[in-house]
Amino acid sequence: MKRLIHEKSVFIVPGDHFGLDHHLRISFGLPPHDLRAGLDRIHELIVELQRS
């Protein structure tokens, strides 16, 4: 999660804070283009992690 914050400027919250172990909490209170940009950055990091 720290890499996501520092490398991609995206913050997610672990689901266990809300009683949902093994899940993520993603806010979508922003305009759709901002949400899409954040989801794209999450995807970028996942792809980078898969390659390493």
Q: Where are the domains of the chain?
A: 2-51
pLDDT tens-digit profile, the chain (52 residues): 789 999 999 988 888 988 999 998 887 788 999 999 999 999 999 999 999 8
Please state, in angstroms and rounded to a whole number, the distance separating the CA atoms of residues 25 and 39: 12
pTM above 0.95, yes or no: no
Burial 2-18 (b: 16+ CB within 10 A, else e): eebeeebebeeeeeeee
